[in-house]
Amino acid sequence: MLLIPCPVCNMARPEREFRYAGEAGLVRPHDPGAASDQDWTDYLFARANRKGVHEERWRHLHGCGRFLVVTRDTVNDRVLQSVPA
Amino acid sequence: MRGFSFLRILQESVSGHRGWREQWRSPEPRKSYDVVVVGGGGHGLATAYYLAAEHGVRNVAVLEKGWIGGGNSGRNTTIVRSNYLFEESAALYEHSLKLWEGLSRKLNYNVMFSQRGVMALGHTVTDVQVIKRHVHANRLAGIDAEYLDPRQAKAFCPILDISRDARYPVLGASLQRRGGTARHDAVVWGYARAADALGVDVIENCEVTGVRRDARGAVSGVETTRGAIGTGVLALVAAGHSSVLAGMAGLRLPIESFPLQALVSEPVKPVMPCVVMSNTIDAYMSQSDKGELVIGAGTDAYPSYGQRGSFQVASSTLDSLCELFPVLRRLRMMRSWAGIVDVTPDRSPIVGPTPTPGLWLNCGWGTGGFKAIPGSGHLFAASLAAGRPHTLVAPFGLDRFSAGRLIDEATAAAVSH
Mean pLDDT, residues B57-77 taken together: 96
A83 Rama sector, left if φ>0, alpha if ψ -120 to 50, beta otherwise: beta
Residues B173 and B284 both lie in one domain = yes
Q: How confident is the model at residue B413 (pLDDT cuts 50, 70, 90)?
A: low
- Which pLDDT value is given to residue B410? 76
Residues B200 and B215 both lie in one domain = yes
Residue B1, in any domain of the structure: no
3-state class of B48 per DSSP?
helix
Mean pLDDT, residues B211-219 taken together: 96
3-state class of B258 per DSSP?
strand
Q: What are the tens digits of pLDDT across the range B222-275?
A: 999 999 999 999 999 999 999 999 999 999 999 999 999 999 999 999 999 999
- Which pLDDT value is given to residue B194? 97
Residues B127 and B93 both lie in one domain = no
Residues B295-324 as b or e (16 or more Cβ within 10 Å = b): bbbbbbbbbbbbbebbeebbebbbebbbbb
Q: Over pLDDT 70: what percentage of chain B?
A: 98
Residues B222 and B362 both lie in one domain = yes
Residue B394, in any domain of the structure: yes
CA distance A10 to chain B (A): 22
Dihedral, CA of residue B231, residue B232, residue B237 and residue B242, to nearest 10: 100
Residues B225 and B331 both lie in one domain = no
B144, B197 in Cβ contact below 8 A? no
How many Å apart are CA B301 and CA B407, to the nearest integer? 22
Phi and psi (nearest 5°) for B113?
A: -75, 120
Contacts of B311 in chain A (CB under 8 A): 1
Q: Output B96 or B280, whichever has higher pLDDT.
A: B96
User: What does the DSSP assignment read for B58-87?
Assistant: --EEEE-SSSTT-SGGGTS--EE----SSH
3-state class of B22 per DSSP?
coil
**Subunit contact B252:A42, Cβ cutoff 8 A:** yes
Asked if the model's pLDDT at residue B282 lies above 90, the reply is no
Domains of chain A: which residue ranges? 1-25+49-85
**A19: closest chain B residue by CA:** B301
Q: How confident is the model at residue B3 (pLDDT cuts 50, 70, 90)?
A: confident
User: What does the DSSP assignment read for chain A?
Assistant: --EEEETTTTEEEEGGG-EEEEETT----SSTTT--HHHHHHHHT-----SSEEEEEEE-TTTT--EEEEEEETTT--EEEEEE-
Phi and psi (nearest 5°) for B172?
A: 175, 170
B143, B94 in Cβ contact below 8 A? yes
Q: How confident is the model at residue B299 (pLDDT cuts 50, 70, 90)?
A: very high
CA distance A33 to chain B (A): 15
Mean pLDDT, residues B394-411 taken together: 92
Q: Shortest CB distance from B304 goes to which of A19, A42, A74?
A: A74
Sequence-ordered list of residues with C-beta below 8 angstroms from that of B3, at least 6 positions apart, any chain: B108
Residues B90 and B202 both lie in one domain = yes
User: What does the DSSP assignment read for B279-330?
Assistant: TTTTEEEEE-TTSPEEEEEEE-SS----SS--HHHHHHHHHHHHHH-GGGTT
Asked if the model's pLDDT at residue B414 lies above 80, the reply is no
The CATH number that domain A1-25+49-85 falls under is: 3.30.2270.10
**Number of residues written out for chain B:** 417
How many Å apart are CA B228 and CA A14, to the nearest integer? 46
What's the CATH number where B361 sits?
3.50.50.60
**Subunit contact A49:B311, Cβ cutoff 8 A:** no
Contacts of B313 in chain A (CB under 8 A): none
Mean pLDDT, residues A26-47 taken together: 95
Average pLDDT over chain A reads 96
Residues B187 and B328 both lie in one domain = no
CA distance A77 to chain B (A): 7
| H/E segment holding residue B382 | helix B373-386
Q: How confident is the model at residue B411 (pLDDT cuts 50, 70, 90)?
A: low
How many Å apart are CA B181 and CA B160, to the nearest integer? 19
Q: Shortest CB distance from A49 goes to which of B243, B301, B312?
A: B243
Mean pLDDT, residues B394-417 taken together: 82
Q: Residue B217: exposed, middle, or buried by beta-carbon count in 10 A (0-12, 13-18, 19+)?
A: middle
**Subunit contact A74:B305, Cβ cutoff 8 A:** yes
**Subunit contact A38:B402, Cβ cutoff 8 A:** yes
CA distance A15 to chain B (A): 10
Asked if the model's pLDDT at residue B361 lies above 70, the reply is yes
Q: How confident is the model at residue B409 (pLDDT cuts 50, 70, 90)?
A: confident
Domain containing residue B95? 29-109+183-254+346-413
Mutate to test the interface with A, among B244, B255, B302 (most CBs of A within 10 A): B302
Residues of B numbered 249-268 whose beta carbons fall under 8 angstroms of chain A's beta carbons: which are they?
252-257
Asked if the model's pLDDT at residue B109 lies above 60, the reply is yes
Considering just the CA atoms, what is the radius of gyration of chain A in Å? 15
Q: How confident is the model at residue B2 (pLDDT cuts 50, 70, 90)?
A: confident
Q: What are the tens digits of pLDDT across the range A64-82?
A: 999 999 999 999 999 999 9
Identity of the residue numbered B359: L
Q: Shortest CB distance from A45 goes to which of B305, B310, B345?
A: B345
Residue B322, in any domain of the structure: yes
Asked if the model's pLDDT at residue B92 lies above 70, the reply is yes
Q: How confident is the model at residue B412 (pLDDT cuts 50, 70, 90)?
A: low
Q: Over pLDDT 70: what percentage of chain A?
A: 100
**Subunit contact B306:A74, Cβ cutoff 8 A:** yes
Residues of B numbered 224-243 whose beta carbons fall under 8 angstroms of chain A's beta carbons: which are they?
241, 243
How many Å apart are CA B236 and CA B243, to the nearest integer? 10
B209, B223 in Cβ contact below 8 A? yes
Asked if the model's pLDDT at residue B417 lies above 60, the reply is no
| H/E segment holding residue B395 | none
What's the CATH number where B277 sits?
3.30.9.10
Asked if the model's pLDDT at residue B217 lies above 50, the reply is yes
Q: Which of B326, B343, B360 represents a domain boundary (last residue)? A: B343
Q: Shortest CB distance from B252 goes to which of A20, A37, A46?
A: A46
| H/E segment holding residue B165 | none
Q: Which of B319, B343, B367 represents a domain boundary (last residue)? A: B343
3-state class of B146 per DSSP?
strand
Asked if the model's pLDDT at residue B364 lies above 90, the reply is yes
- Which pLDDT value is given to residue B241? 96
Residues B67 and B213 both lie in one domain = yes
Contacts of A16 in chain B (CB under 8 A): 312
- Which pLDDT value is given to residue B269? 96
Mean pLDDT, residues B165-192 taken together: 97
Average pLDDT over chain B reads 95
Q: What residues are paired with A20 via a beta bridge?
A: A58
**B252: closest chain A residue by CA:** A46
Mutate to test the interface with B, among A49, A53, A77 (most CBs of B within 10 A): A49
Q: What was the ipTM of the complex prediction?
A: 0.95
What's the total number of domains in chain B? 2
Contacts of A38 in chain B (CB under 8 A): 402
**Subunit contact A77:B306, Cβ cutoff 8 A:** yes
